[in-house]
Structures are given as structure tokens and as C-alpha cells.
Structure 1
Amino acid sequence: MIKGTLRIVFTGEDLARVRVAGRADMMWEMALSLHILQRPGGARALSGWRRQARADLAEAGLLKPVRERLVPLVPLKAYFPDFLTPYESLSGFRQGLDVLADTPSARVRHEVDRLRPYVPVPATLDDLARGNRRSIRDLARLGERYCQVAFGSRRTAMEDALGRERARLTRLLTDQGVDAMLAGLGPSTRWRPPVLEADYATGRYEIHLQGRGLTLIPSYFGRFTPVAMADPSLPPVLVFPIQHEMPDAVPDDALPDLLGATRARVLRCIAATDGCTTSELARRTGASLSSASAHAQVLQRAGLIASTRHANMVIHQLTRLGGDLIHRQQ
């Protein structure tokens, strides 16, 4: 049940400093995926991932340490420590892990203490709660291993889905302006200038940006409501859930056998958007720019997509023939 409201108050300067994260923020995905991992019901779109992740973690010998040391830090409550999701992780997973490993002991102690009113902190976190340096570094290593194992089977789908959402927001910003982008964040948010209002887990929480701007971070594992940093003095971010349009269980797919795995991914990426550039295709599929361009040219010659040049960009769109081919595989 949604119990609260988040209000983010903008100035004119803040509107000029809204940005969309340029990549998946793996530290936020780690934290929010732990909610999915421990949720007994709900999140139907990710139930298949939850089953697979538990099996993969068990096989890797990580299920117990994850349950004892990571899950208690990210309870299904109103708070989890900000040090788990450092702002620097926007520059890459490795940077985020390094900052987590170097978190000052005093900050760790303070934020774990802040967790105590919501849930009991288990004895397995006693050393961490005291700010023990080795325990902090061990937590960062455990987070890295968790992401490697738990996200392994879903990494391509994550990148594709988040790439589509980033492209959608960027297109809104370019074509219609920042107001349209803020108004289009999803059903749980409402843009009422100069305030962005969002459903929140509990309570009323207000952030005044005061010229600092706001970074929008789409999340694959975020569910239901957006999330912000608990400490309003930290760099402002809004992490919001994307819409999961594809079913969690994908049926047998003959498309890769027909077109090849990468070309099939390129076709499906184009099908999932109103149109995307060659650069967007490369980013979402993990192909090089030249490879994405070559695959798009083949798909165009086959009549499965249409490619149109706009200035220095080529926009690729699905044709009816391409749509019919994908539909027959579903």
C-alpha cells in the first residue's frame, strides 16, 4: 500500500539542470533487486528472475551471505542506508563499488543506526554496524559478486529495457522540452510546476533542489514507486521504475535461428521503440556502432525495417513485414 508522497521543488535553474543517467546504475539495481528477491508475492513481471537468481546464488554459495548481510540492510520498509547507492556509481559500477568500500566508518555507523527503528539489525552485521573497515570492504565485494551472479541471466534484458527508457526520455526532452519529460515519468509521478510529486513508500518527504538540479535514474528492478536519497543534502536523484512490457517468461524463439542472435536483438530493439538511432541500437544490443549499422542495413534490405536520415542521424523503424515476423514468433 502506498502511504506517502514525495515532493521535489524546482527553481528555474534546476529545470535547466535536469539530466537522465547515461547508463544503468548497478548500485541502485542491486539495492532494489534485493526487495524483489525477498518479496514473497507481487512483482509478477520479475518472478522468473527471482526464482533463477535464488537458484544461481545458491549454486555459487552466495545465498546465505546475501540473506545475512545484504538483505537486512535493504528491508521492505521505508529506509535503507544511502551509502549503498553512492552518486559516483552513475559513472560506472566499479566506481560505485570503490566508493562503497571507502565509506567513512562514522557514516556507516550513523546510517545503520538510522535503520534500527525500522527493523532489527542482526548480529551478522555487528562488525559493519561498528564501522569496521574490513567489514565495509567485504560488503562491497559481496555486492559485486551478488550483481555478477544474480544479474547474469538478465543483464542484456536490463540494458535493453533501460536503454529504451533513456531514449524515450531523451526524445521527450529534445522534442518537447523538460516539462514534457517530467510529466512523462510514469503513472506514479505528477508534474505540477514547480513541484514534481510522486507516490512514496511512507510519510511525506520534501526535497528542495535549490539550483543543484536533478538526475533521473530509470530502474529495471524498481517497483511501484520512485525512490530518492534519504539524506536531502546528498546530490539529488530520482530513481523510478520502468514499465515491463515484455512477459517474464519468453517462449521458444526461432528468430535468432532465422536472423542470427545479434540481428534478432537489433530487430527486437527497433520493434520496442517508435524509432531509434544506430547509436541507440549499438548501446542496447552491446554491438559496436559499425556492427549495429551493418545489421540495420541488412534488415532494411530485407524490408523488415525502414531507415530514414535526419540531419546526421539515421532513425530505424519497424515495417509491417518486420512486425508480422516478430508476431509469428510470439
Structure 2
Amino acid sequence: MLRIHFSDADLARVRIAAAPDPLWEVAASLQRLQSRRGRWAYAGWYRMARQQTRERGLGRVLRNVFLPLYPRAAYFPDFLTPSDSVGDWDAGLESILATPPRRVLEEVTILDRTVGAPAWAGHLARLEARKEFVGMLRAYHDAVIAPYEEQAQARIEAERAARARGLLDGGVEGMLSGLGPMLRWRPPVLEAVYPKQVGDRDLYLNGRGLTLIPSYFNWGEPVTFADPEMPPVLWYSLLHEPSPPDAPHGVDAPEKSLITLLGRARAVALRTASTGATTGEIARAAGVSASSASRHATVLREAGLITTIRNGPTVLHTLTPAGASLLRAVSPME
């Protein structure tokens, strides 16, 4: 169990990241390649990642460099996921390059003590070795993370919309109460399910606040920095819904679903979802029953035009990039 202790000053400094943390998504994606947990949610990505790493000649880098450095374990070095990389890939890479050699060696030693570090890992204390490593990160990111950036961004925007509703209804504490099954708000402590091998841990924010970072590729337990002196952040999993089995990468909208979409009720549903809407709000806007609104939302979701997340006892529907593009392209409804 991870217990994050808040003061009144910390509650005033809680924020939710507006964009993915690309270096964390790299780390979390490498965990997905090493685990079958939640594989159904990433089936399309998993197939694409294996194909791309093979076609781009990244198989050896994956096996010999990345997987040993980001093991499926309770720890990997903090310097690989710098705090200033949220929404800024290049800034994150620059932070890796600027990591003091002493810190690199300290964290590699922790890795070695925890699960065993590869023999070459200590060489990352040298700037030239880190430059080579950053080049590998760029190649991996371009191959398997970049194709999913829009989808991840759409999910994060949906998550922010859900948490904004919690904030409007119940303030910061209301927002913290709706973070999902792995997190529980027990004022003034946010409790998080944590890996059993780590054990119990207390993190005192001491007025620094907390940045919540929704993660597309993280699955299961939330994660924070091992070093309590680092800026307080908490990466937590977005809830996933199974993708349609015939939808490549889970985002392509079948042509027949787009034709079905042209009906009035679904067009209203799509427009209503543009600002975030519950099923009940779609029903009222379209003048249909709640069950009909739910069916319309299902069609839109399976077409890749909206995404749906649970927000307490209700669900919240928001547009995907494809849905937003379609809405911009069609003429206003009469």
C-alpha cells in the first residue's frame, strides 16, 4: 500500500497532466511486452509493436538493452522517467542526458541490488553512452509509441473531463475520490494499491502538491518515484474497454458504422459528446430513452468516434480525434 499524505496546501496544488508523459509511456509499454496482464486491452498495439520492432531491426536493442533496464519488477531507475518530460519528449530526453553521473551510478546500483542490473548499465554514467541510449529511445518511440499518441491523448482528455466533473461537484476531494479502483481517498491520505514486493510506503507531500499523470500503457498499480525527494507525481492507469476485434489498432471506423452514424439521434449524440456527456445527457439532448442513448453511444464507440470511461456510478462519453474531425467536417444539423 502506498499512502500519500496531503496538507491543505497540497490540496491546493493538485493537478492532472494535460498530455501523456512520453518517457513513462515508453517504460510502461516495455512492461506490457513482458506481461500478459491486461493483454486484451493492448492486443492491436502488441501485434503492431512486435511487427515494427522486427521490421526496424530493434529486436536486439529490445532484448539486450531495454528489457534488462526496465525489468518487470518493483524498480527501474528514476532517471529514465524525468519529471519534466510530461508532454515534452525532447525535454525529457535532454534531462536524461543531463543526469549527473553519480545519480546514474546510484540508481543502477539500486537496480542491481533489487533485481540485477546488466553488466553494461554502469556505462550510462558516461555522456556518450547516454547519447547512444537516447538514440535507441527515439527509434523505439517512433516505432511503437508515436502511432498511438492521438489515441492516448484522446483517453487523457476524456479522463480530465471526468475528473473536472468530480472537481465541480465536490472540489479537489471529490476529484480525488473518483480516481478509480486502484486509488482510494481517505482524507487526508490518498491510498494506492502498490506492488506487493515493494510493501507499504508513505509519501509526505509537505506542501509540494501532486501531479496526477494518466497513463495509457500503465496497467494495474499506480506508480511514483522511488526517491521521495523527487517532485511528487503519480502515474495511474486509464481504464480500458475492449476494442472491436476487426478494428485495426482499435481506432479505425468501419465504413458501415459511419453510414449508420448519419442518423439524427447519433449525430446529436456525437455533438453532445464534444463537451463530455453522460448517457443520460445524451438521452435528453436527443429526445430518446436512456437505453437508446446507450445503444447509440455503443455504435459511436465501436466506430472509434467517442471514448467512454466510468465516472463513479455513471459513464462519460467524449470525442476521439476521429470523432472531432468528423464533427468538424459535417454541416450543422437543422
TM bin, normalised by shorter chain, reads 0.7 to 0.9
Aligned to 1:30: 26
Q: Taking structure 1 as reference, are residues 75 and 272 closer, same or farther at Cα in structure 2, changes over 3 Å only?
A: same
Is 1:127 the counterpart of 2:123? The answer is: yes
Which of the residues 149, 162, 168 maps onto 2:143? 149
Shift in Å at residue 43 of structure 1? 2.9
Q: Taking structure 1 as reference, are residues 46 and 271 closer, same or farther at Cα in structure 2, changes over 3 Å only?
A: closer
CA distance in 2, matches of 1:271, 1:66: 31
CA distance in 2, matches of 1:62, 1:222: 22
Q: Taking structure 1 as reference, are residues 271 and 147 closer, same or farther at Cα in structure 2, changes over 3 Å only?
A: closer
Give structure 2 stretches of 5+ with no counterpart: 248-252, 275-299, 310-315
Aligned to 1:285: 321
Give the letter aligned to residue 172 of structure 1: G
Q: Taking structure 1 as reference, are residues 275 and 50 closer, same or farther at Cα in structure 2, changes over 3 Å only?
A: closer
Which of the residues 296, 301, 305 maps onto 2:333? 301
Q: How many residues align?
A: 284
CA distance in 2, matches of 1:218, 1:176: 20
Aligned to 1:58: 54
Which of the residues 209, 224, 235 maps onto 1:228? 224
The answer to whether the 8 Å contact 1:10/1:195 transfers is yes
Percent same amino acid among aligned pairs? 39
Deviations 1:171-203 (A, max 9, x none): 322332111111111101110000000100131
Give structure 1 stretches of 5+ with no counterpart: 303-330
User: Which aligned pairs between 1:143-292 and structure 2 lie closer than 5 A?
Assistant: 143-201=137-195, 202-247=198-243, 249-251=245-247, 253-254=254-255, 258=259, 268-270=304-306, 272=308, 274=316, 285=321
Q: Secondary structure at the match of 1:176?
A: helix
Is 1:47 the counterpart of 2:60? The answer is: no
Q: Secondary structure at the match of 1:191?
A: strand
CA distance in 2, matches of 1:272, 1:76: 29
Shift in Å at residue 47 of structure 1? 3.0
Shift in Å at residue 146 of structure 1? 0.9
Q: Secondary structure at the match of 1:113?
A: helix
CA distance in 2, matches of 1:248, 1:147: 25
Q: Taking structure 1 as reference, are residues 122 and 212 closer, same or farther at Cα in structure 2, changes over 3 Å only?
A: same
RMSD between aligned alpha carbons?
A: 2.8
CA distance in 1, matches of 2:110, 2:101: 14
The answer to whether the 8 Å contact 2:151/2:321 transfers is no
CA distance in 1, matches of 2:307, 2:41: 20
Q: Taking structure 1 as reference, are residues 151 and 221 closer, same or farther at Cα in structure 2, changes over 3 Å only?
A: same
Q: Taking structure 1 as reference, are residues 250 and 257 closer, same or farther at Cα in structure 2, changes over 3 Å only?
A: same
Deviations 1:22-73 (A, max 9, x none): 1111111111110001225653211332222011011111121122112111
Shift in Å at residue 294 of structure 1? 3.4
Q: Taking structure 1 as reference, are residues 217 and 76 closer, same or farther at Cα in structure 2, changes over 3 Å only?
A: same
CA distance in 2, matches of 1:148, 1:155: 10
Shift in Å at residue 16 of structure 1? 0.6
Shift in Å at residue 270 of structure 1? 4.5
Q: Secondary structure at the match of 1:239?
A: strand
Q: Taking structure 1 as reference, are residues 223 and 60 closer, same or farther at Cα in structure 2, changes over 3 Å only?
A: same
CA distance in 2, matches of 1:226, 1:146: 24
CA distance in 2, matches of 1:124, 1:60: 23
Q: Secondary structure at the match of 1:181?
A: helix
Q: Secondary structure at the match of 1:177?
A: helix
CA distance in 2, matches of 1:105, 1:225: 30
Which of the residues 108, 111, 121 maps onto 1:115? 111
Shift in Å at residue 143 of structure 1? 1.3
TM-score by length of 1: 0.78
TM-score by length of 2: 0.77
Give the letter aligned to residue 229 of structure 2: S
